[in-house]
């Protein structure tokens, strides 16, 4: 190839780029700008997500710290509960003896009105102490239902018999509607729950009234309704009824209804409260007919 031919193939140094070449370069520049903008947007989104993630980590860390503190406090309460239960067990025996001696003394004082009145006050005070120690011991220890076949009528009858003197002292009548339900449960624990519910109803009627007890089978569940003719449950108290430290009664400890809740849950059941349409409060204690136990930490020895 001659030099002249080579010169013809070379583009002149001062030649202007073609219009198509300029458009292509502008398109490439716009595309580059868009890529940079997209990169910046993604970077900002990543930075935002990272900041949110760090904030969520801080929140979770705080929640974990709170949970650990609550767990440590619960462990301390559990140990304190074990110690308290041991002490109360030792106290309960002499209290029971005092109650027995007071009953014997009441019998010996037949016809001596003033002395019998004083002994009656002793009996009442000792009975309250025995029930209080029983409540604390029940609340402090794990609940392991000892299941047995029972009849609803027998459970209600036993509770009414034990509370007979309290019912008469407070001028409270009892109405029973028993459907004769057969249930598998721990009779001692359920008895304790019914005692607490009926006593709660008695205390809600200081001027007397009526306690209505209903036992029925609903959807494979024994339901026991305890209804009083008192003032009912106010809206402020309702959310806290089953809290162990909540009570509206002078001198009360708040454990009674909390224990009822624990006993129901230990059987795989529930307890609820509300106001009856006819007036007064109504508590519903429900446990499975076949004695299904709740899979919870109640049975652990931790």
H or E stretch covering 178: strand 172-178
| Mean pLDDT, all residues of the chain | 81
Report the predicted TM-score, pTM, of the whole model to 2 decimal places: 0.61
- One-character DSSP codes across 114-145: HHHHHHHHHHHHHHHHHHHHHHHHHHHSPP--
88-119 tens-digit pLDDT: 767 777 888 888 888 888 888 888 888 888 88
Is the model more confident about 159 or about 246?
159
Contacts of 49 (CB under 8 A, 6+ apart): none
Nearest to 221 by CA among 155, 146, 153, 152: 152
Give whole-number Cα distances, 231 to 199, 209, 279, in Å.
Answer: 15, 11, 7
Q: How confident is residue 23, by pLDDT bands cut at 50, 70 and 90?
A: low
264 close to 286: Cβ distance less than 8 angstroms:
yes
pLDDT of 295 > 50? The answer is no
Tell me the mean pLDDT in the region 16-33. 63
176 close to 185: Cβ distance less than 8 angstroms:
no
As a whole number of angstroms, the distance between CA 184 and CA 148 comes to 5
CA pseudo-torsion sign 255, 256, 261, 263: positive
3-state SS assignment for residue 278: coil
pLDDT of 24 > 90? The answer is no
Residue 196: Cβ-neighbour burial (10 angstroms; 0-12, 13-18, 19+): buried
pLDDT of 6 > 50? The answer is no
3-state SS assignment for residue 276: coil
Within 242-294, where are the H helices?
A: 255-266
Q: Provide the pLDDT for residue 176.
A: 96
Domains and CATH numbers, the chain: 19-141 (1.10.287), 148-296 (3.30.565.10)
Question: 17-21, 71-75, 83-87, 166-170: lowest mean pLDDT where?
Answer: 17-21
Q: How confident is residue 17, by pLDDT bands cut at 50, 70 and 90?
A: low
Contacts of 115 (CB under 8 A, 6+ apart): 109
210 close to 229: Cβ distance less than 8 angstroms:
yes
- One-character DSSP codes across 47-116: HHHHHHHHHHHHHHHHHHHHHHHHHHHHHHHHHHHHHHHHHHHHHHHHHHHHHHHHHHHHHHTTT-HHHH
Is the model more confident about 283 or about 59?
283
123 close to 96: Cβ distance less than 8 angstroms:
no
144-182 tens-digit pLDDT: 899 999 999 999 999 999 899 889 989 999 999 999 999
pLDDT of 87 > 80? The answer is no
């Amino acid at each position: 190839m001659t030099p002249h031919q080579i010169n013809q193939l070379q583009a002149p140094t001062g030649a202007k780029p073609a219009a198509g070449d300029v458009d292509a370069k502008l398109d490439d520049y716009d595309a580059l700008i868009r890529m940079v903008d997209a990169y910046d947007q993604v970077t900002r989104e990543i930075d935002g997500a990272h900041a949110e993630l760090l904030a969520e980590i801080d929140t979770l860390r705080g929640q974990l710290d709170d949970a650990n503190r609550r767990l440590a406090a619960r462990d301390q309460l559990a140990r304190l509960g074990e110690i308290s239960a041991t002490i109360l067990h030792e106290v309960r025996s002499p209290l029971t003896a005092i109650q027995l001696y007071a009953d014997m003394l009441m019998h010996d004082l037949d016809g001596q009105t003033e002395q019998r009145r004083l002994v009656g006050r002793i009996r009442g005070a000792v009975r309250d102490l025995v029930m209080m120690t029983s409540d604390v011991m029940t609340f402090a220890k794990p609940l392991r239902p000892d299941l047995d076949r029972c009849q609803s009528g027998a459970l209600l009858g036993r509770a009414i018999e034990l509370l007979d003197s309290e019912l008469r002292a407070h001028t409270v009548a009892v109405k029973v509607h028993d459907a004769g339900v057969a249930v598998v449960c721990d009779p001692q624990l359920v008895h304790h729950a019914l005692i607490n519910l009926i006593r709660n109803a008695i205390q809600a009627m200081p001027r007397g009234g009526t306690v209505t007890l209903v036992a029925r089978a609903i959807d494979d569940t024994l339901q026991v309704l305890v209804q009083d003719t008192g003032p009912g449950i106010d809206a402020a108290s309702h959310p806290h009824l089953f809290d162990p430290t909540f009570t509206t009664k002078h001198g009360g400890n708040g454990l009674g209804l909390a224990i009822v809740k624990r006993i129901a849950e230990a059987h795989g059941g529930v307890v609820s409260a509300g106001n009856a349409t006819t007036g007064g409060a109504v508590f519903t204690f429900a446990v499975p007919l076949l004695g299904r136990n709740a899979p919870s930490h109640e049975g652990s020895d931790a």
